[in-house]
Amino acid sequence: MNIKLRHFLVFNRLPIAILLLVLAFLQGFYKVAGGWWVAWIPILIALLMLAAHFLIGTMSLIQNYVENGDLEGAEKLLGKIKYPNLLYKPVRSSYHMLQANMHSMTDDLDKAESSLRKSLDAGITEKGFEGTAYLQLGAIAQKKGNTKEAYENIRKALSLGLPDKDNEASAYLQLCSIAMQRRDFRASKQYFAKAKACKPTNVQVADQIKEMQKYIARMPG
């Protein structure tokens, strides 16, 4: 489907659905062109469009924006969803997860945490994404200085599973950092070894491992 046409249909589902219902009822009552025998077709289409408007919203368009790095465009589409609680649960979970990512970029940690918890409450169905949510909660808790909560969330993220080795390495590095703060050098080395074993391909994570190596090399024991 043409992108412009798709955008037009998504943005105008509600008025189009209302128009179809009006035309269908007029057709039925005045027995035009087959009357009710044909009017059920636009009624069905209108009901499907109404369901899509409230259960999916603009979420069907957002993926392309995110993939193209147009976060401003994605944020505008999120803002067009006026009733997020009416979204279908998996869609609502994705909606709150995207909101959390937006808030994280602006360092609004409280809103990011709130959105992540809403995403988890809605029920994350994609494999590895529940673990990612807990990993993000752990990172937020660590930034807030709550190392106990950070440790618990990151451990839970690893137990639930993460989508790739880069995320897994990042989780072990965070646990390594927490163990260092606690002066638990043995645990630090163990977590660091697990992070290295992941062999991350992400440049940022790989650089963090190189930097952490300097501290690990100076540790006693």
The predicted-structure confidence for 132-152, as pLDDT tens digits, reads as follows 999 999 999 998 989 999 999
pLDDT of residue 193: 93
d(CA 119, CA 81): 15
Q: Read off φ and ψ for residue 190, nearest 5 degrees.
A: -65, -45
Q: Which two structure tokens, joined as six digits, stand for 182?
A: 């606690």
For residue range 37-75, list pLDDT tens digits in order.
888 898 999 999 999 999 999 998 887 887 777 778 888
Residue 218 three-state SS: coil
User: Residue 198: pLDDT above 70?
Assistant: yes
Q: Name the token pair of 3.
A: 């992108």
CB-side neighbour CA atoms (13 Å) of 128? 7
Q: What are the pLDDT digits (tens) for 151-177?
A: 999 999 999 999 899 999 999 999 999
Query: Can you list the domains of the chain with their CATH numbers?
Result: 126-221 (1.25.40.10)
Percentage, residues of the chain above pLDDT 90 = 47
CA dist list (Å): 166 to 4, 146, 149, 187, 206: 36, 24, 22, 20, 9
Round to whole Å and give the CA distance between 148 and 117.
Answer: 18
